[in-house]
Amino acid sequence: MTILINESQIIGKFDYKKYFSIILSILPVEYIGNLKVIHIVDKYENDIDFDSRSYGCYVIRNYYGEIFINIGNLSNNKIPSYLYKNYPEISALFLSEILGHEYGHHVNAFYVKYKGDSEEFAKKYAESCYYFYLKQRRLHIYISYYLASVNFLIFNRNERMMFRKSINDIKKWTNDNKHIDYPGK
């Protein structure tokens, strides 16, 4: 399995190899066979028949799964480009949810073959991946949020308060969701 960066300007100095390796390490490894490549792109290739605004997509080509993570679409909403450079830990936390979702489609396509709604299955995968990633990197992530919450050079008061609130929200969410696990296990 390889990670390919296709001319992503936005991801810039972000150490994608480090963070994608950590995310991959908390995904169930027994399903990684048949996953050929993770593409990190600013926009989708023309031959991909998928919602052009989505954050990620999963395709099967020549009997192998391929994941696309769309940094361009993410930058419009979920992960603004400054976050990769200044707060990579927060960016990586968001990316864990995106990669987890697409990995869920892969697990479903090749292994579990869940008969219900495959989007539901992928959504649960995304949530579990986010949960385990958060657990693994908790301290780094809290420190990042804290540093953002006191950075008055970049952020206004409301933005800083949102970062502060995120810490409490994450603490509460992890406390309330102690039994999350990957579906199909």
- Site residues (vs Zn ion, CB under 5 A): 122
Numbers of helices and strands, H then E, in the chain: 6, 4
CA distance 45 to 8: 13
State the minimum distance, in angstroms, from the CB of residue 105 to Zn ion: 6
- What residue type is 84 in one-letter code? Y
Q: Which is nearer to Zn ion, 87 or 121 (CB)?
A: 121
| Cβ-closest position to Zn ion | 122
Distance CA 171, CA 185 (A): 26
In the complex with Zn ion, the residue whose CB is nearer, 123 or 140, is: 123
Shortest distance, CB of residue 40 to Zn ion, whole angstroms? 17
Q: Are 68 and 48 a contacting pair, CB within 8 Å?
A: yes
Provide the 3-class DSSP secondary structure of residue 94.
helix
Separation of first and last alpha carbons in the chain:
22
Residue number with CB closer to Zn ion (101 or 137): 101
Least distance from Zn ion to the Cβ atom of residue 55, Å: 9
Q: Which is nearer to Zn ion, 121 or 145 (CB)?
A: 121
Shortest CB 94 distance to Zn ion, Å: 16
